[in-house]
């Protein structure tokens, strides 16, 4: 049953899979628990909501997802977008805020699930990778700035970089030095773990892939050490803010707020959140699947992510997606099936059942350190240099995404980036590459007259069209043809060489008919060559060939031989 992939991989599940999945689950859970707690604080919801979201997200995705290694749970960008969306609402109490987060998760899941039902997985193609990288980079900076409040123990608020920075500067005089020292020490500890532990484990004889995975256990080691220090020295009494009381036991069944006013207020936030959730998850899933020669079903991913967010909304959680770092760790630790996610969820469940009293003493600044170090890996300012070298249009889209995300917020940033990329694409395709070509002497090949020494004829003009023909570029083609014809008074034939034309819409058809009519009135014949079969079928279904003044040729060389002496 394709709608439930778990039934497929469960049939071939073996003991070796159990062993590999269990090891991967332990590694992922060790990494995920402190991240989930910290990302819940980023989103502005209670810390335990991150654990609830991780547990339900991992469990449901294991049933409905198509990736063998994607680790679903709270992620930094969705947490940031959740905080931005809810901060605009008139929510008076933490309870109202948490309920609104559930509603946002429900709406995100519903959008994803509907997209899966209607097979809209192709929408991820409309977000170019450079734009996505720019958005992630800017969002990572916003997330890091949002954590400075916990690092300095001062109130920091705002939805963009300028507001966050201004808020930090305005309140920095009230910095709690012990908290700051603890936070900087935690960051240094995590950086050292990432940089040195892998080499240490390799020297101990541990395989490189396993060593890399174990080195990611720094956050849980930090949490354990911080809890011990906090309890021994009663850091709470010294002014260090700790996590506090976390409900013990499994999450209770919760119902999101379905009031029409809240649903209407959150819809425009849920839509970009769903898009980012899907694009980030599918990118990670496909990248890892290729490395194992596995396949990902985009529409099934929509269904899996949608179901995970829907269930999360009824279990007191927050929006979830596939995380890059956790999924990579899951992959490197040897996860064989999605059951690894389910086992990780069981570990989180055990923590909720038995270890919540211990979590009371965990300093929040340590969670901020975990998030800051985690999002550092998302920074990629090299995309500016790469896009500048490759295409000015792509650089413009990247720059717009970065600037708008930093100044107006994550939702506006991803929208501006996609819109700019689409507009740049439309502009580019509105000016299709059309080359005047001639024959390379001694061959049957035709090349651009600007770049090659070729044979031409005064009575023959051949134009090679290197784009699909549709409404944005038909006026450009028409103007170009008429201009080139006007420059050649002895012209008798125009040949449109169409090997790269793989689509033609009604606007383009009418343009071709108009070109044919104008040329015919001027005593010039219009011909086509090397037209693909699908395009021929489209044209044969119209009256175009009955009006065409010239003919159609299977090869451009035949057209050149027949027409150059005419």
Instruction: Give the per-residue SS3 of 35-46.
Output: HHHHHHHHHCCC
Question: Cα-atom radius of gyration of the chain, to the nearest Å?
Answer: 30
CA-CA distance, 442 to 457, in Å (whole number)?
16
Structural domain includes residue 428? no
Whether 429 is in a domain gets the answer no
CB atoms within 10 A of CB 293: 6
Q: What local confidence, expressed as pLDDT, does residue 213 receive?
A: 65
Q: Is 15 inside any structural domain?
A: yes
Residue 445 domain-assigned? Answer: yes
Q: What is the pLDDT of residue 349?
A: 97
Final residue belonging to a domain, choices 422, 449, 482: 422
473 and 359 together in one domain: no
Question: In terms of domains, do 294 and 343 share one?
Answer: yes
DSSP-derived letter for residue 257 is -
Q: Tell me the residue range of the domain where 29 lies.
A: 6-422
Q: Are residues 388 and 242 in the same domain?
A: yes
In this prediction, residue 468 carries a pLDDT of: 93
Q: Please give the pLDDT value at position 210.
A: 67
Within-domain flag for 1: no
pLDDT for position 128: 87
The per-residue pLDDT for range 18-34, each reduced to its tens digit, is 999 998 999 899 889 99
What are the residues whose beta carbons fall under 8 Å from the beta carbon of 514, sequence distance 6 or more? 478
Q: End of a domain among 422, 456, 480?
A: 422
In a shared domain, residues 452 and 369: no
Whole-angstrom Cα distance, residue 312 to residue 49?
Answer: 9
Q: State the residue for tokens 């279990």.
A: 315
Same domain, 260 and 138: yes
Q: Low-confidence residues of the chain, pLDDT below 50?
A: 1
Q: What is the total count of domains within the chain?
A: 2
189 plus 274 within the same structural domain:
yes
At residue 279, the pLDDT reads 92
User: How far is the C-alpha of 175 from the C-alpha of 112, rounded, in Å?
Assistant: 42
Tell me the two tokens of residue 440: 């390379």
Tell me the C-alpha to C-alpha distance, in Å, between residue 195 and each of 185, 198, 199, 372.
Answer: 15, 7, 8, 16
Q: Are residues 416 and 441 in the same domain?
A: no
Across 327-367, the runs of DSSP E, i.e. the strands, are none
In a domain, 97, yes or no: yes
> What pLDDT score was predicted for residue 1?
46
Residues 203 and 226 in one domain: yes
pLDDT of 357: 95
User: Do 276 and 345 lie in a common domain?
Assistant: yes
Q: Are residue 447 and residue 541 in the same domain, yes or no? A: yes
Report the CATH number that the domain containing residue 473 is assigned in CATH. 3.30.750.24
Q: What are 545's strand-pairing partners?
A: none
Same-domain pairing of 411 and 460:
no
Q: Which of 399, 422, 445 is the last residue of a domain?
A: 422
CA distance 451 to 261: 63
Say what the pTM is.
Answer: 0.85
Nearest of 566, 410, 546 to residue 493 by alpha carbon: 566
344 and 490 co-located in one domain: no
> Is 24 part of any domain?
yes
């Amino acid at each position: 049953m394709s709608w439930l992939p778990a039934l497929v991989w469960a049939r071939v599940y073996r003991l070796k899979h159990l062993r590999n999945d269990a090891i991967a689950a332990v590694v992922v859970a060790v990494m995920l628990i402190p991240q989930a707690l910290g990302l819940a604080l980023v989103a502005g919801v209670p810390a335990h909501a991150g654990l609830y979201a991780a547990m339900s997200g991992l469990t449901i995705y294991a049933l409905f997802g198509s990736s063998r290694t994607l680790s679903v749970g709270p992620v930094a960008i969705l947490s940031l977008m959740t905080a931005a969306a809810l901060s605009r609402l008139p929510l008076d109490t933490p309870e109202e805020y948490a309920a609104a987060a559930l509603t946002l998760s429900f709406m995100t899941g519903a959008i994803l699930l509907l997209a899966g039902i209607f097979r809209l997985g192709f929408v991820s193609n409309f977000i170019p990778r450079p734009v996505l990288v720019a958005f992630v980079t800017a969002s990572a900076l916003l997330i890091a700035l949002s954590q400075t409040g916990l690092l300095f123990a001062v109130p920091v608020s705002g939805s963009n970089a300028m507001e966050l920075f201004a808020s930090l500067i305005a309140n920095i005089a009230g910095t709690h030095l012990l908290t700051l020292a603890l936070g900087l020490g935690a960051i240094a500890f995590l950086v050292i773990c990432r940089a040195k532990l892998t080499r240490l484990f390799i020297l101990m004889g541990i395989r490189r892939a396993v060593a890399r995975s174990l080195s990611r256990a720094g956050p849980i080691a930090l949490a354990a050490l911080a809890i011990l220090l906090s309890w021994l020295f009663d850091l709470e009494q010294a002014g260090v803010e700790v996590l506090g009381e976390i409900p013990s036991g499994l999450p209770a069944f919760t119902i999101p707020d379905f009031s029409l006013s809240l649903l209407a207020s959150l819809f425009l936030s849920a839509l970009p959140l769903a898009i980012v959730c899907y694009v980030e998850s599918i990118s990670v899933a496909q990248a890892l699947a290729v490395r194992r020669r596995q396949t990902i079903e985009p529409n099934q991913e929509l269904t899996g992510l949608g179901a995970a967010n829907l269930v999360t909304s009824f279990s007191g959680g927050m929006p979830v997606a596939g995380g890059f770092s956790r999924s990579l760790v899951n992959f490197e630790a040897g996860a064989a099936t999605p059951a690894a996610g389910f086992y990780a969820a069981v570990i989180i469940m055990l923590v909720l059942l038995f270890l919540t009293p211990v979590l009371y003493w965990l300093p929040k600044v340590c969670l901020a350190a975990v998030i800051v170090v985690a999002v550092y890996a998302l920074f990629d300012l090299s995309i500016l240099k790469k896009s500048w070298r490759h295409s000015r249009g792509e650089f413009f889209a990247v720059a717009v995404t970065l600037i708008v995300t930093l100044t107006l917020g994550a939702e506006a940033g991803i929208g501006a980036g996609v819109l700019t990329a689409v507009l740049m694409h439309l502009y580019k395709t509105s000016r299709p590459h059309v080359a005047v070509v001639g024959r390379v002497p001694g061959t049957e090949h035709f090349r651009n007259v600007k770049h090659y020494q070729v044979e031409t004829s005064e009575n023959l003009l051949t134009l090679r069209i290197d784009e699909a023909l549709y409404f944005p570029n038909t006026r450009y083609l028409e103007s170009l043809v008429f201009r080139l014809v006007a420059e050649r008074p002895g012209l008798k034939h125009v040949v449109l060489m169409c090997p790269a034309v793989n689509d033609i819409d009604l606007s383009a058809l009418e343009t071709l008919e108009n070109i044919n009519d104008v040329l015919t009135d001027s005593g010039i014949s219009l011909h086509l060559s090397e037209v693909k079969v699908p395009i021929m079928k489209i044209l044969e279904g119209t009256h175009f060939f009955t009006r065409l003044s010239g003919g159609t040729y299977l090869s451009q060389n035949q057209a050149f031989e027949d027409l150059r002496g005419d």
